[in-house]
Amino acid sequence: MTSYANEEDFLRDQIQSNNLAIKFIKRELNRVRPEIQDDYIDTKSKVINVYAKGVEALEEDSEQKRERIKFLGHDDEGLIDEY
């Protein structure tokens, strides 16, 4: 288990992890999108929506962590979304 010197370091690692997860999800969506057949019950749209909501949840989580970093009196310099 990783130990952190302070809460800010933990939050920054979590933001980086979210960025990696978002990148992975987007890559997987691009891979599976052509494989999903359109049908009359809108399955393709539902699958795409699940991927999109996952990305959205991770982006919101990162934003909350950025706000916490600012609240702690630090800036979010160096936190770049890499996806």
- Predicted pLDDT of residue 75: 74
- Predicted pLDDT of residue 76: 65
Residue range(s) defining the domain that contains residue 34: 7-71
- The verdict on residue 81 lying in a domain is no
- Predicted pLDDT of residue 1: 78
d(CA 12, CA 48): 28
- The verdict on residue 80 lying in a domain is no
- The verdict on residue 57 lying in a domain is yes
Percent of the chain at pLDDT exceeding 90: 83
- The verdict on residue 29 lying in a domain is yes
- What pLDDT digit, counting tens, does each position of 15-28 carry? 999 999 999 999 99
What mean pLDDT comes out for the span 24-45? 95
- The verdict on residue 13 lying in a domain is yes
Record the pTM.
0.84
Total domain count for the chain? 1
- The verdict on residue 23 lying in a domain is yes
